[in-house]
Chain A
């Protein structure tokens, strides 16, 4: 039963539209023959739906890549800007995510949470000395970690609404109430989709285990976990989960710090919020 539900979800998500501002900008930039490549890439990189659709296209088994492509930039180098632009345009043609979904889930606040988590995740990666490619991967993982939620809002709004309400009312983790009303939580939904789309193993793991860390070593997931809490602590946007989790020991060890201490150490992150907001407001 659950499997056929999952299959249905996968089919529905194929038609899922992207966020309004990026749809507008992709249409605008792809109509301008002189638009700069980096402007187009920047718009795609800041939209979880467009990013995921490009990674899905490029990582499909058709291309049989020895190594998974984990960023939009790498996809551009591999297959050329025009193809990436046209995939984005195809997504734009599906319309825009409805900001007034039946779940009452605020997609602008969600995107702000995703984008700031992405940027903070990258910042943390830089702080612990990861390579520039790993830092970019951390951005992508942060951007996509809650992808399952927007899928719920779009395709299972009634149940997701109940999960959101109970989570808020009883101060329970959203992934717990989702399980109760939907039968799977956003990490699990994200994992199913990410596996189906053949994304990289580390990215799938980061999406799947950004709440329950598990035992495997995955620095991508650790950066996303920490960034997620920091973004919530600083109240940058809202992913619908009122609960902020303290750093468990492996995370505290990884970053040499507790959650409050790292928030102090990172200093003023308002610029991250401001930049993210510029990609959201139409």
Chain B
């Protein structure tokens, strides 16, 4: 299995001289099975560059798994050039939003409206299929098995585990491990904590022993103090997950938009120095780098 990041930035694209090394596009990850089946995790702005690369492979079959429908994870969909070219087959996978009861086709159709985009959904020339996935129910793509799990974020968010050719990857999408909403002196504290602990165990089990764990690590601990409840994890929460799940490699992604290459490098050095005993390899997700597991 091979992995390539095409977008590693959270919230908003950040082009410019300060993001040249790690990249400024929002979330998009390409995964290739040994048979070269194409799985794409999220359709942030990074999917546009991926699309340019795919033009030489036409016609293509692409399987796009959307973790959640916040802009930075779907904004590239209308710019995924293969959707305009006849002969391509594109399947878009995602959940049903429990608030709106809408399926994943809304992520594209809502963008392809007269006021926002010049082309209508009916004018797309590729064969586009939408697939509703359910937590815990695996779907097959070639030799790969993809299993979703619900991970806490301000909107329905799936983490996806991909098992394929004897290897495995887990991507959290955007994820903030749930904190106890009660204070220790509240009657509800202990019971709520038991729910939090049970969910943590479920999450760790879903990513158990993966070769690569890709986590939302938007914040440092200091930043997180002011950003609890925003739906994102920290470098330390990522390390805690990776250690509990015994992941082999841990990729930190969803880099905070104001984070420059220099500050990411500095954070990375600190992480290496402060976590000498961590068994898994710590890595910052970086656009355009091929990773072979």
CA distance A133 to B178 in the complex (A): 18
A interface secondary structure, majority: helix
Partner of B182, one of A38, A60, A64, A133: A38
B interface secondary structure, majority: loop
With A37-B181, A77-B199, A82-B154: A62-B188 Cβ-Cβ less than 8 Å:
no
Give B125-145 as 1s and 0s: 1 = Cβ < 8 Å from A's Cβ atoms: 000000010111100000000
Closest B residue to A64 using CB positions: B134
Query: Which residues 18-57 in A have Cβ within 8 Å of B in the complex?
Result: 36-38, 41, 57
- CB <8 Å contact, A79 and B191: no
Q: Is B17 an interface residue (CB 8 A)?
A: no
Closest A residue to B198 using CB positions: A77
Partner of A132, one of B132, B136, B190: B190
With A78-B199, A80-B178: A133-B194 Cβ-Cβ less than 8 Å:
yes
Give A67-91 as 1s and 0s: 1 = Cβ < 8 Å from B's Cβ atoms: 0000001101111111100110010
- CB <8 Å contact, A62 and B229: no
- CB <8 Å contact, A58 and B98: yes
**What's the least CB distance linking A131 to chain B, in Å?**
9
- CB <8 Å contact, A133 and B181: no
Q: Is B57 an interface residue (CB 8 A)?
A: no
- CB <8 Å contact, B95 and A82: no
- CB <8 Å contact, A73 and B136: no
Closest A residue to B199 using CB positions: A77
Partner of B192, one of A57, A58, A77, A80: A77
**What's the least CB distance linking B203 to chain A, in Å?**
11
- CB <8 Å contact, B99 and A132: no
- CB <8 Å contact, A63 and B99: no
Give A111-141 as 1s and 0s: 1 = Cβ < 8 Å from B's Cβ atoms: 0000000000000000000001100100000
Q: Is B155 an interface residue (CB 8 A)?
A: yes
Q: Is A214 an interface residue (CB 8 A)?
A: no
**What's the least CB distance linking B99 to chain A, in Å?**
4
Closest B residue to A135 using CB positions: B191
- CB <8 Å contact, B181 and A81: yes
- CB <8 Å contact, B191 and A132: yes
- CB <8 Å contact, A83 and B188: no
- CB <8 Å contact, B99 and A83: yes
Give B152-192 as 1s and 0s: 1 = Cβ < 8 Å from A's Cβ atoms: 11111100000000000000000010100110001010111
Give B93-134 as 1s and 0s: 1 = Cβ < 8 Å from A's Cβ atoms: 001101100000000000000000000000000000000101
Q: Is B195 an interface residue (CB 8 A)?
A: yes
Q: Which residues of A contact B153 (CB under 8 A)?
A: 80, 82
Q: Is B150 an interface residue (CB 8 A)?
A: yes
CA distance A90 to B99 in the complex (A): 7
Q: Is A267 an interface residue (CB 8 A)?
A: no
Give B208-250 as 1s and 0s: 1 = Cβ < 8 Å from A's Cβ atoms: 0000000000000000000001010000000000000000000
**What's the least CB distance linking A53 to chain B, in Å?**
10
CA distance A127 to B198 in the complex (A): 25
Contact-size category for A:
20 to 34
- CB <8 Å contact, A77 and B196: yes
Q: Which residues of A contact B231 (CB under 8 A)?
A: 80, 82
With A38-B186, A57-B98, A83-B156: A77-B195 Cβ-Cβ less than 8 Å:
yes
CA distance A58 to B99 in the complex (A): 10
- CB <8 Å contact, B154 and A83: yes
- CB <8 Å contact, B181 and A62: no
Q: Which residues of A contact B182 (CB under 8 A)?
A: 38
**What's the least CB distance linking A50 to chain B, in Å?**
13
Partner of A79, one of B96, B132, B156: B156
Q: Which residues of B contact A64 (CB under 8 A)?
A: 134-137
- CB <8 Å contact, B155 and A83: yes
Closest B residue to A40 using CB positions: B181
**What's the least CB distance linking A201 to chain B, in Å?**
19
**What's the least CB distance linking B137 to chain A, in Å?**
6
With A66-B136, A80-B154: A73-B192 Cβ-Cβ less than 8 Å:
yes
CA distance A62 to B190 in the complex (A): 29
**What's the least CB distance linking A238 to chain B, in Å?**
28
Q: Which residues of A contact B99 (CB under 8 A)?
A: 57, 83, 86-87, 90
**What's the least CB distance linking A265 to chain B, in Å?**
22
**What's the least CB distance linking B286 to chain A, in Å?**
29
**What's the least CB distance linking A153 to chain B, in Å?**
27
Task: Using A65-B136, A77-B198 as known contacts, list a sample of 9 further A-B pairs with CB atoms less than 8 Å apart, ordered by residue number in A.
Answer: A41-B181, A64-B137, A74-B195, A76-B178, A77-B152, A77-B196, A77-B199, A83-B156, A132-B190
**Interchain residue pairs with CB less than 8 A apart (26):** A38-B181, A41-B181, A57-B98, A62-B95, A63-B150, A64-B136, A64-B137, A65-B135, A76-B178, A77-B152, A77-B195, A77-B196, A78-B152, A78-B199, A79-B98, A79-B150, A79-B156, A80-B176, A80-B231, A82-B155, A83-B98, A83-B155, A83-B156, A132-B190, A132-B191, A133-B191
Closest 8 CB pairs of A and B: A82-B154, A37-B181, A80-B152, A77-B195, A57-B98, A132-B191, A86-B99, A64-B134
